[in-house]
């Protein structure tokens, strides 16, 4: 399924905004193909992180095709709920009295420390094939994996690869839209669709981005 952010990015840059906005001739299947073509280019160079919540053990991860499991975190929050009771007076209850500000400040500080502790307290685990076995399984566990990108969301936004992904997807979208528009010829009209221009721009930008992908900037 295509990323909503990717779709918005393409529609905004190709279709414009406000009074100058025009409809972009891209269906859901077109966006899916654009995303697929983009990820196919980046896959040999990039491995993304994916987080999955598990409610039982063992965990079948075959659907995610992980390259490796990085860590398994205990996300039990019973102690945190106790801290919330202390700060607010009980679940879904907020008591505003003379010491509420002080109790709330203590809760915020504790919450930050507690969350850091929980993520540092990794559980013991063993990976056999695509099945993850977790020792001493708690009621909820967060699994951090390295995966080949299968969706745009697998590419971390703070990665230098993310802007490349958006740029390449836009270049592919130009080619797709251009080929759609080039099928139509308006006889006798002074106005012609810009299909040929979009195809040319899209192909040129794709080649330039491929060169950038294999250049020094993305050596990993």
- List the chain pLDDT tens, one digit each, 220 residues: 346 778 888 888 877 555 555 566 788 899 899 999 999 999 888 888 888 888 888 889 988 888 889 888 766 655 555 555 555 555 444 444 556 566 666 667 666 665 655 555 556 788 898 899 887 766 677 888 888 888 888 888 888 888 999 999 999 999 998 888 887 766 655 555 678 888 999 999 999 999 888 765 554 4
pLDDT at 5: 77
In the block, tokens 């006889």 appear at 187
Between the alpha carbon of residue 7 and those of residues 14, 15, 78, the distances in Å are 11, 11, 40
CB of 135 closer than 8 Å to CB of 54: no
The answer to whether the peptide bond before residue 125 is cis (omega within 30 degrees of 0) is no
| Domain boundary pick from 114, 147, 180 | 147
CA distance 148 to 36: 12
CB of 132 closer than 8 Å to CB of 53: no
pLDDT at 28: 87
Tally of domains in the chain: 2
pLDDT at 35: 92
What are the tokens at 62? 């075959």
pLDDT at 173: 92
pLDDT at 4: 76
- Whether 57 and 18 map to the same domain: the answer is no
CA distance 1 to 156: 17
- Whether 88 and 11 map to the same domain: the answer is no
What is the chain's length? 220
- ∠ CA(97), CA(103), CA(104), 5° rounding? 95
pLDDT at 13: 81
Q: 0.85 cut: is pTM over it?
A: no
| Element holding 141 (H helix, E strand) | strand 141-147
- Whether 214 and 161 map to the same domain: the answer is yes
pLDDT at 91: 46
pLDDT at 188: 59
Containing structural domain, residue 16: 4-46+150-218
CB of 155 closer than 8 Å to CB of 166: no
| Domain boundary pick from 116, 132, 147 | 147
| Domain boundary pick from 116, 147, 178 | 147
pLDDT at 56: 80
């Amino acid at each position: 399924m295509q990323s909503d952010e990717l779709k918005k990015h393409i529609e905004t840059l190709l279709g414009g905004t406000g009074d100058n906005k025009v409809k972009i001739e891209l269906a859901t299947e077109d966006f899916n193909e654009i995303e697929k073509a983009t990820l196919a280019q980046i896959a040999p160079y990039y491995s993304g992180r994916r987080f999955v919540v598990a409610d039982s053990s063992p965990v079948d991860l075959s659907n995610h095709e992980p390259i490796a499991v990085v860590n398994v975190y205990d996300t039990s929050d019973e102690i945190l709920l106790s801290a919330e009771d202390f700060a607010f007076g009980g679940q879904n209850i907020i008591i505003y009295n003379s010491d509420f500000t002080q109790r709330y400040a203590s809760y915020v500080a504790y919450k930050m420390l507690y969350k850091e502790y929980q993520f540092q307290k990794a559980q013991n685990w063993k990976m056999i094939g695509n099945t993850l076995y977790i020792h001493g399984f708690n009621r909820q566990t967060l699994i951090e994996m390295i995966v080949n990108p299968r969706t745009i969301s697998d590419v971390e936004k703070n990665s230098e690869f993310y802007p490349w992904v958006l740029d390449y997807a836009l270049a592919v979208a130009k080619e797709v839209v251009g080929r759609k528009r080039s099928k139509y010829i308006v006889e006798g009209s002074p106005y012609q669709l810009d299909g040929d221009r979009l195809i040319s721009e899209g192909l040129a930008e794709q080649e330039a981005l491929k060169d950038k992908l294999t250049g020094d900037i993305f050596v990993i």
